[in-house]
């Protein structure tokens, strides 16, 4: 389980302090995949980074009793000047995973071919997502943080990823950020809506989508 308790976070800007997360509370239970919905720039990615431990909240507590992946997206958690393979080795070393098994899985899954030995900088966003997602599957986690990763992939990759995720469902759960209602519906059974620093969580995904649509409409008028 991952439990966020009273998380506050924000950034200093030119005209004072900008609050991104305002007393956020939520529990992620194993076996339930949660979609995080919200407009652009409300702090979904920040929330994901805090859940994963990439960023520390200004106040509040994150309790993790399950293993959590790094945020799998097209954003960089890899070193640009190193090749895909070198990045893979680094990740294996810090997670204590076996380099050989992981390599062969990722090569097979990501279909990067000779690009594995090219600098990560030279990858397209789709290739980045493939490597990041394949690698996270190979290492193995209880929770996967997925930040818009599939929106950049082509149909073939998306199909492959969906299949891999369905297979994982018994052992792993997702925390999923996406604007695509379709993919949210395909992968998640719960939802949470982030709006103006507040996070509302719903046990039923449809309620969350309804609330998200309301938020979108408020904006439009």
Partner 1 sequence: MRELWEGFTVQRRVILALMLRETHTIYGDAKLGYLWVLIQSMFGIGVFWAVREFVGASDPHGMPVAVFLILGFGVWSVISQSISKCMNAVRSNQALLTFPQVTELDVMIGRVMVIYVTQIIVTIALLAVASAMDLAVELNSAGLLYACIFLIPAFSLGMGLLLSSLAVFIPSLERIVPLVIRLLFFASGVFFSVNSFSKDIADILYLNPILHLVELTRCSISYSYPSDGLSLMYVTVITLIVLFLGLLLERYVRTRRER
30 or 75: CB nearest partner 1: 75
Of 5, 30, 32, 82, the one binding partner 1 by CB under 8 A:
82
Q: Is residue 70 a contact residue for partner 1 (CB under 8 A)?
A: yes
Q: Is residue 53 a contact residue for partner 1 (CB under 8 A)?
A: yes
* Helix (H) or strand (E) segment spanning residue 166: helix 155-168
Please give the angle made by the CA atoms of 172, 145 and 147, to the nearest 5 degrees. Answer: 140
- Specify the pairing of strand 190-195 against strand 143-147: unpaired
55 or 111: CB nearest partner 1: 55
Q: Is residue 177 a contact residue for partner 1 (CB under 8 A)?
A: no
Of 29, 93, 159, 167, the one binding partner 1 by CB under 8 A:
93
Least separation in angstroms between CB 47 and partner 1: 14
Rounded to whole angstroms, the Cα distance separating 175 from 166 reads 14
Site mask for partner 1 (CB under 8 A), range 94-133, x = bound? xxx-------------------------------------
Number of residues that bind partner 1 (CB under 8 A): 27
φ, ψ of residue 21 in degrees (nearest 5): -120, 125
Q: Is residue 12 a contact residue for partner 1 (CB under 8 A)?
A: yes
CA atoms within 13 Å, Cβ hemisphere of 95: 21
Q: Are 209 and 184 in contact (CB under 8 A)?
A: yes
φ, ψ of residue 204 in degrees (nearest 5): -115, 130
Of 78, 143, 157, 176, the one binding partner 1 by CB under 8 A:
78
Rounded to whole angstroms, the Cα distance separating 10 from 25 reads 16
Rounded to whole angstroms, the Cα distance separating 141 from 159 reads 21
Q: Is residue 138 a contact residue for partner 1 (CB under 8 A)?
A: no
Of 25, 79, 101, 171, the one binding partner 1 by CB under 8 A:
79
**Residues engaged in binding partner 1 (CB under 8 A):** 11-12, 49, 52-58, 68, 70-71, 76-82, 86, 90-91, 93-96
């Amino acid at each position: 389980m991952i439990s966020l308790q009273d998380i506050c976070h924000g950034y200093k800007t030119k005209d004072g302090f900008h609050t991104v997360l305002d007393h956020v509370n939520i529990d992620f239970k194993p076996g339930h995949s949660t979609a995080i919905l919200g407009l652009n720039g409300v702090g979904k990615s920040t929330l994901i980074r805090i859940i994963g431990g990439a960023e520390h909240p200004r106040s509040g507590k994150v309790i993790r009793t399950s293993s959590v992946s790094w945020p799998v997206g097209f954003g960089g958690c890899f070193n640009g000047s190193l090749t895909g393979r070198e990045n893979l080795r680094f990740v294996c070393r810090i997670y204590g995973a076996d380099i050989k098994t992981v390599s062969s899985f990722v090569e097979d899954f990501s279909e990067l071919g000779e690009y594995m030995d090219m600098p990560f900088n030279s990858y397209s966003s789709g290739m980045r997502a493939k490597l990041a997602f394949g690698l996270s599957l190979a290492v193995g986690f209880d929770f996967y943080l997925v930040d818009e990763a599939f929106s950049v992939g082509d149909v073939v990759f998306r199909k492959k990823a969906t299949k891999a995720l369905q297979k994982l469902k018994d052992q792993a759960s997702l925390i999923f950020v996406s604007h695509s209602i379709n993919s949210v519906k395909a992968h998640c059974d719960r939802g949470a809506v982030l709006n103006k620093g507040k996070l509302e969580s719903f046990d039923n995904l449809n309620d969350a989508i309804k609330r998200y649509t309301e938020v979108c409409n408020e904006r439009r008028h």
